[in-house]
Amino acid sequence: MRLEDKTVVITGAASGIGEETAKRCAEEGARVVVTDVNTPGGEETVADIEDAGGEAEFRELDVTDSERFDEVVDAVAEEYGIDVMVNNAGTGHPGGSLEDVDDSVRDFVIDVNIKGVWNGCAAALPHMKEQGHGSIVNVGSLASILGLPKQAAYSTTKAAVLNMTRTIAAEAGPYGVRANAVCPGFTETQMLDQYVATQDDPEAARQAMAEDYPLKRLGKPEEIADSILFLASDEASFVSGHGLVVDGGFSTC
Q: pLDDT tens digits, residue range 32-70?
A: 999 999 999 999 999 999 999 999 999 999 999 999 999
SS3 assignment for 106-128: HHHHHHHHHHHHHHHHHHHHHHH
| Confidence category of residue 205, pLDDT binned at 50, 70, 90 | confident
The span from the CA of 235 to the CA of 178, in Å, is 12
Question: So what's the pLDDT on residue 197?
Answer: 80
Helix then strand count (H, E) for the chain reads 9, 7
Question: So what's the pLDDT on residue 24?
Answer: 98
Mean pLDDT, rounded, of the chain: 96
Catalytically annotated residues = 154
The span from the CA of 93 to the CA of 105, in Å, is 7
Quick: pLDDT tens for 150-176: 899 999 999 999 999 999 999 999 999
Question: So what's the pLDDT on residue 215?
Answer: 95
| 224 SS3 class | helix
Question: So what's the pLDDT on residue 211?
Answer: 93
Question: So what's the pLDDT on residue 196?
Answer: 78
Q: What percent of the chain stands above pLDDT 90?
A: 88
Domain ranges of the chain: 7-188+220-252
Instruction: Specify whether the CB–CB gap between 28 and 55 falls below 8 A.
Output: no
Q: Which CATH architecture has domain 7-188+220-252?
A: 3-Layer(aba) Sandwich (3.40)
Which H or E run contains 48? helix 39-51
Please give the model's pTM, rounded to 2 decimal places.
0.95
| Least reliable range by pLDDT among 51-60, 91-100, 229-238 | 91-100
Question: So what's the pLDDT on residue 114?
Answer: 98
